[in-house]
């Protein structure tokens, strides 16, 4: 059968196996992240993204028969056309790809993903050198507590759960109100009237049954915050009042836990990381930045002032991003920096935050 113009010749998986055993070169062109489930026996891996640079290593002779394999047979066909254009005279695409290869019971290599991780779920993270298997295990063993399962806590918790952070704790004593649903995306219409830690926990477990989610139905204050926060690796402050924010700050400072701060108002939000106990360079705490809370008459709440739902979405996800970096120990965190987001102007601004040597929460002595 001669190939149509612009197409390459196809072979069945069974024919390919026979040709490979007779000396043809079997090439798996899938992305590195797709390899965890194993591949066809005898295949060499040359991902399509660096094919041109690497194909000469596996096939220095352009007259060799090349058998290309991908997941379903489409990318291998496109790649075969590409290689023919490079001068390879006998390139064939394996019809139906690895799916058909597997379905026909042809020999496979053993899955090379780690047994203790859900490699398929996390394959796109495992493919990142900055995460990889070691990092995914750090996330699995990570403990993150979210103060508030509301506008900030909802997006943060969803993405941390999806990323495989193994131990999440939601702290909130509120019940879901219908006016919350415009931004508190952990909860649905049917959850109105119920406890946020219940509907939030259920949503997270549905998203990722492989993690542990705990709910603590309590309002954090100076008396209970240390006990509730003890043992956490990272705290995400998504609370909605100053009393809780200062109580969380004091407990985090006392326990040495990094606190990822987020706060929103109308079309604007602020995000930073407060961590006086940071190894290799103490950061400021929340009180270093704001020495005292405003009196109630100068601090209108979102209930009165309103907030665009996507603003806590953006800020909550920046908090989740900081939490993942802290758990993984990668990148530059927002310790010592405050990001201010203005949705109306479409602008982020960055400010320096320094330790206050006279801070009554975190200054030594």
Q: Which residue numbers are catalytic?
A: 302
Q: How far is the CB of 203 from other proteins (least distance, A)?
A: 18
Judged by CB under 8 A, does residue 245 bind other proteins? yes
CA distances in angstroms from 245 to 50, 310, 343, listed in the order given = 49, 22, 23
Judged by CB under 8 A, does residue 351 bind other proteins? yes
Nearer to other proteins, 251 or 338 (CB): 338
Nearer to other proteins, 152 or 161 (CB): 152
Q: How far is the CB of 285 from other proteins (least distance, A)?
A: 13
> Of 252, 264, 285, 334, which one interacts with other proteins (CB under 8 A)?
264
For 328, residues 6+ apart whose C-beta sits below 8 A from its C-beta are 130, 131, 135, 138, 139
Count CA atoms within 13 Å of residue 52 on its CB side: 5
Nearer to other proteins, 78 or 242 (CB): 242
Judged by CB under 8 A, does residue 350 bind other proteins? yes
Judged by CB under 8 A, does residue 352 bind other proteins? yes
> Of 167, 233, 266, 278, which one interacts with other proteins (CB under 8 A)?
266
Nearer to other proteins, 56 or 351 (CB): 351
Assign 3-class secondary structure to the chain.
CCCCCCCCEEECHHHHHHHHHCCCEEEECCCHHHHHHCCECCCEECCHHHHHHHHHHHCCCCCCEEEEECCCCHHHHHHHHHHHHCCCCEEEEECCHHHHHHHCCCCECCCCCCCCCCCCCCHHHHCCCCCHHHHHHHHHCCEEEEECCCCCHHHHHHHHHHHCCCEEEEECCCECCHHHCCCCCCCCHHHCCCEHHHHHHHHHHHHCCCCEEEEECCCCCCCCHHHHHCCCCEEEECCCCHHHHHHHHHHHHHHCCCEEEEEEEECEEEEEEECCCCCCCCCCCHHHHCCCCCCHHHCCCHHHHCECCHHHHHHHHHHHHHHHHHHHCCCCCCECEEEEEECCCCEEEEEECCCCCCCCCCCCC
User: Which of 282, 292, 294, 263 lies closest to 362 in space, CA to CA?
Assistant: 282
> Of 151, 200, 215, 313, which one interacts with other proteins (CB under 8 A)?
151
Judged by CB under 8 A, does residue 18 bind other proteins? no
Q: Which stretch binds other proteins (CB under 8 A): 76-84, 85-93, 204-212, 233-241?
A: 233-241
Judged by CB under 8 A, does residue 182 bind other proteins? no
In sign, the C-alpha dihedral spanning 237, 282, 334, 164 is negative
Judged by CB under 8 A, does residue 171 bind other proteins? no
Judged by CB under 8 A, does residue 353 bind other proteins? yes
Judged by CB under 8 A, does residue 354 bind other proteins? yes
> Of 312, 314, 325, 341, which one interacts with other proteins (CB under 8 A)?
312
> Of 32, 294, 329, 331, which one interacts with other proteins (CB under 8 A)?
294
Q: How far is the CB of 242 from other proteins (least distance, A)?
A: 5
Q: Which stretch binds other proteins (CB under 8 A): 35-43, 101-109, 114-122, 292-300?
A: 292-300
Q: Which stretch binds other proteins (CB under 8 A): 65-73, 87-95, 251-259, 289-297?
A: 289-297
The Cα–Cα gap between 283 and 336 comes to 6
Nearer to other proteins, 97 or 151 (CB): 151
> Of 4, 298, 332, 346, which one interacts with other proteins (CB under 8 A)?
298
> Of 302, 310, 330, 339, which one interacts with other proteins (CB under 8 A)?
302
Nearer to other proteins, 32 or 294 (CB): 294
- Interaction site with other proteins (CB under 8 A): 148, 150-153, 237-242, 245, 262-268, 270, 289-294, 298-302, 305, 307, 312, 338, 340, 345, 349-354, 356
């Amino acid at each position: 059968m001669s190939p149509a113009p612009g197409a390459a010749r196809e072979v069945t998986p069974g024919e390919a196996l026979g040709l490979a055993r007779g000396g043809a070169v079997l090439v798996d062109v899938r992305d590195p992240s797709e390899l965890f489930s194993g591949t066809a026996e005898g295949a060499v891996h040359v991902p399509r993204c660096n094919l041109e640079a690497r194909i000469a290593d596996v096939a220095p002779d352009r007259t060799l028969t090349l058998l290309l394999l991908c997941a379903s047979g489409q990318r291998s066909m496109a790649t075969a056309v590409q290689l023919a254009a490079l001068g390879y005279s006998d390139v064939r695409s394996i019809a139906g790809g690895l799916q058909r290869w597997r379905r026909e019971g042809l020999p496979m290599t053993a899955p090379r993903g780690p047994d203790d991780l859900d490699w398929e779920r996390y394959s796109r993270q495992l493919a990142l050198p900055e995460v990889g298997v070691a990092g995914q295990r750090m996330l699995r063993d990570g403990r993150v507590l979210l103060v508030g399962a509301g506008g900030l806590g909802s997006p943060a918790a969803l993405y941390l759960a999806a990323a495989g952070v193994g131990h999440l704790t939601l702290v909130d004593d509120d019940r879901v109100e219908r006016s919350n649903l415009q931004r508190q995306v952990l909860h649905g219409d049917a959850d109105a009237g119920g406890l946020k830690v219940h509907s939030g926990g259920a949503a997270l477990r549905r998203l990722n049954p492989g993690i542990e989610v705990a709910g603590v139905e309590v309002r954090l204050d100076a008396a209970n915050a240390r006990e509730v926060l003890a043992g956490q690796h990272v705290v995400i402050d998504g609370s909605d009042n100053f009393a809780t924010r200062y109580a969380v700050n004091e407990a985090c400072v006392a326990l040495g836990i990094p606190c990822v701060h987020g706060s929103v108002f109308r079309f604007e939000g602020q995000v930073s990381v407060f961590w006086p106990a940071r190894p290799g360079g103490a950061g400021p705490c929340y009180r270093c930045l704001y020495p005292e809370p405003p009196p109630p008459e100068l601090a209108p709440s979102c209930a009165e002032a309103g907030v665009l739902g996507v603003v806590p979405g953006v800020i909550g996800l920046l908090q989740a991003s900081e939490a993942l970096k802290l758990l993984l120990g990668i990148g530059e965190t927002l310790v010592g920096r405050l990001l201010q987001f203005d949705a109306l102007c479409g602008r982020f601004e960055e400010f320096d935050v320094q330790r206050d040597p006279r801070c009554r929460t975190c200054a030594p002595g």
